[in-house]
Chain A
Amino acid sequence: MIGNERLAVRKTYKLYLGGAFPRSESGRTYEVTDSKGAFLANAARASRKDARDAVVAARAAFAGWSGATAYNRGQVLYRVAEVMEGRHAQFCEEVAAGEGLSTGKARAAVDAAIDRWVWYAGWTDKLAAVLGSANPVAGPYFDFSLPEPTGVVAVLAPQRSSLLGLVSVLAPVLASGNTAVVVTSKARPLPAVTLGEVLATSDVPGGVVNLLTGDAAELGSWLAEHDDVDAIDLTGAPPGRAMEFEREAAGSIKRVLRPPAEEPDWAGDPGLTRMRAFLETKTVWHPKGF
């Protein structure tokens, strides 16, 4: 007798690039396993050309995203947190399987990730007040400084913390008006893939976030050397390669955020460091007294 057990639907995920979900240009995929080595899904393995396309998409999206009002960006990011909340159970399952956490700990990590996103969403229209200033100068000028986004930021996401870590490095880049090209955790990409689906179904314009599943060791150099990338966050760089990436980034004088010696506990207070790292300061001298 034929059993009526349902066959598993084996999934092959794709990249999230320019608001769409293309396969890798190279056609490559790799197997993603859980913490015990059991098969979870196939993920696309991004190539250098996918990274190039992602930078083009991020550059195209930059004018719109950085030009939106801070208030509007906050609303859009808050909406992302709402959609994440709707996918709560799926995130918990993926984080538990990928990181080998108990259900309770996975739930806590997902809660923290969503709260983190909300926290950054709240920062969009407060950055200028906190990081900007009215400067007393010796002359008849009203002189003030404002933070402005750096541009296209390449992010090598943390390798271990697949959702809370990812949110902790991505949200600060977006909150200040940059666009991002993210290389996800290689071994644990599934929460990032789901986050891509969340972003596609919220109000974030296509190209503002581009998620490349694959190997930071392979893609890091291409992004570090790319003339049209303005900054790079090396948090998830493979051990021993960060210095090399930093040297390559110097060719186009990128801003570089160096990786911590050890992947930190992302549950701690994030502070403003990560937002400040991808901001430029514009100072305006406005004549007065006429």
Chain B
Amino acid sequence: MTHVLDPDALTAGTPPRREPPTPYADVTRSESAFRAFLHGLPGVDQVGASSRVTMLGTRSIKTTAKAWAIDTAISMVDLTTLEGADTPGKVRSLAAKARRPDPTDPGCPPVAAVCVYGDLAGIAKEALAGTGINVAAVATAFPSGRASLAVKLADVRDAVANGADEIDMVIDRGAFLSGRYLDVFDEIVAVKEACGDAHLKVILETGELVTLDAVRRASWLAMLAGGDFIKTSTGKISPAATLPVCLVMMEAVRDFRAATGRQVGVKPAGGIRTTKDAIKHLVLVNETAGPDWLTPDWFRIGASSLLNDLLLQRQKLRTGHYSGPDHVSVD
């Protein structure tokens, strides 16, 4: 249903743009049509969203349910180290921790992935060979995303060549906030192509998007462009993953699957430090998108210090008394 009277639609000489899945195939036909679509998404009731997450946050998860939630959360962790001071040794020790988070208990599940910078993906891949734990690499001039498309694509190809199974890209927030939505869309499409078989997680950096309306638009944009996951933040900016933001993103993936049949995962990252926070997120996932998303294939938590808190709580449940930081490894 192309609208011939739309003047932008007639621009000649550009290669055809990759189409989003039906029924949204035509929304990217022009800058103005895409803007009209994204701004036509229902507005988010900010007060309603925060009261809903507050209400869900009061759910009492205890005993066997808590034990299940802790193990599930551990299996969803993307164990992350994104410091300038990272070394191959640090990545190897993180990989060892990813395989056996609690060496005192063989029943403790491994984490979902290890998330590192692209140049260290090879080290992580080697250390995790044969474990089923994925290697995620951040790319596209992470965390600012301020580089030309050619540099970003080279960054992605390099990470994939190093063995990354998953690529965490950042969107161009400058372009998004100034309304150049198609530029952002095209960039994600190009990165997705460069990924090849690797899964693509699109980081929205919600701390810079300011409003929940913008979060909803960015989520839809990323899903239409072919992202396999939408991820809240780089972890370098505060606020990072908050519950209202996660609620809006869960609603987006739920609605997107209902409309197109394609399921997209969600990954909150940054700022989730305690078991309580993690469990609140799991409740939110279950109540918003449903149990289909309650697996490491469709929901991840990007974290570093969270894992230790989960392990301490796990030990508390197992032994009946409080554990201490001397009983988990320092990253």
Contacts and interface: CB of A to CB of B under 8 A. Distances in A.
Interface of A: 52, 55, 59, 222, 225-229, 248, 251
Contacts, number: 27
B326 A226 contact: no
The dominant DSSP class at the A interface is: helix
Contacts of B326: 227-228
Q: Which of A52, A228, A248 neighbours the largest number of chain B CB atoms within 10 Å of its CB?
A: A228
B322 A55 contact: yes
Given A227-B321, A227-B326, A251-B321, 15 more contacts: A55-B322, A55-B324, A222-B321, A225-B321, A225-B322, A226-B321, A226-B322, A227-B322, A227-B323, A227-B327, A228-B322, A228-B323, A228-B326, A229-B324, A248-B321
B240 to A, nearest CB: 22
A228 B325 contact: yes
B322 A52 contact: yes
Nearest to B320: A225
A61 to B, nearest CB: 14
Contacts of B321: 222, 225-227, 248, 251
Interface in B305-330: 320-327
B232 to A, nearest CB: 27
A222 B324 contact: no
A225 B322 CA distance: 7
A251 B323 CA distance: 11
A229 B323 CA distance: 9
Nearest to B327: A227
21 contacts: A59-B324, A59-B325, A222-B321, A222-B322, A225-B320, A225-B322, A226-B321, A226-B322, A227-B321, A227-B322, A227-B323, A227-B324, A227-B326, A227-B327, A228-B322, A228-B323, A228-B324, A228-B325, A228-B326, A248-B321, A251-B321
B268 to A, nearest CB: 24
Q: Which of B321, B325, B326 neighbours the largest number of chain A CB atoms within 10 Å of its CB?
A: B321
Nearest to A223: B322
Q: Which of B320, B321, B322 neighbours the largest number of chain A CB atoms within 10 Å of its CB?
A: B322
Q: Which of A52, A226, A227, A228 neighbours the largest number of chain B CB atoms within 10 Å of its CB?
A: A227
Contacts of A222: 321-322
A22 B114 CA distance: 38
Contacts of A248: 321
Contacts of A225: 320-322
Interface in B58-116: none
A20 B57 CA distance: 24
A107 to B, nearest CB: 41
Nearest to B322: A226
Interface in B108-145: none
A222 B316 CA distance: 11
A76 to B, nearest CB: 26
Interface in B189-237: none
A254 to B, nearest CB: 11
A229 B320 CA distance: 15
Contacts of A226: 321-322, 324
A55 B324 CA distance: 9
Contacts of B320: 225
B179 to A, nearest CB: 45
In the A-B complex, the 3 residue pairs with the smallest Cβ-Cβ separation, listed nearest first, are A228-B324, A225-B321, A227-B324
A226 B322 CA distance: 5
Nearest to A224: B321
Contacts of A55: 322, 324
Nearest to A248: B321
B27 to A, nearest CB: 50
A1 to B, nearest CB: 49
A251 to B, nearest CB: 7
A149 to B, nearest CB: 16
Contacts of A228: 322-326
Q: Which of B320, B324, B325, B327 neighbours the largest number of chain A CB atoms within 10 Å of its CB?
A: B324
